Amino acid sequence: MTYDVIYIGPEGDETRVAEHFDDRADAADVARREAARRGAGRMVLPGSHKPSNCVCVIPVGDRPAA
């Protein structure tokens, strides 16, 4: 499983923060720092529910073989 980190702004627009973490804890650490920098909340999202003004860790499945 890999994880991406995105920021969902107040209007629902998404901005990629970081991609392809193999370790969820590393992705959560990036999300925590980015949320503090932006004054936003943070979540780990298992599905497509999208809160606003939140930095989210998104599970993206297995990375394809290179």
Instruction: Grade residue 48 by pLDDT with cuts at 50, 70 and 90.
Output: low
- Assigned domain for 42 exists: yes
- Assigned domain for 66 exists: no
pLDDT at 25 over 60: yes
- Assigned domain for 25 exists: yes
The counts of H helices and E strands in the chain are 1, 4
- Assigned domain for 43 exists: yes
pTM of the model: 0.80
**The total number of structural domains that make up the chain:** 1
- Assigned domain for 17 exists: yes
The string over 11-33, giving b where at least 16 C-beta atoms fall within 10 Å of a residue's C-beta and e elsewhere, is: eeeeeebbeebeeeeebbebbee
Domain, as residue range, for 53 = 2-61
- pLDDT value, residue 42: 79
The mean pLDDT value of the chain amounts to 85
Contact 43, 57 (CB under 8 A): yes
- Assigned domain for 31 exists: yes
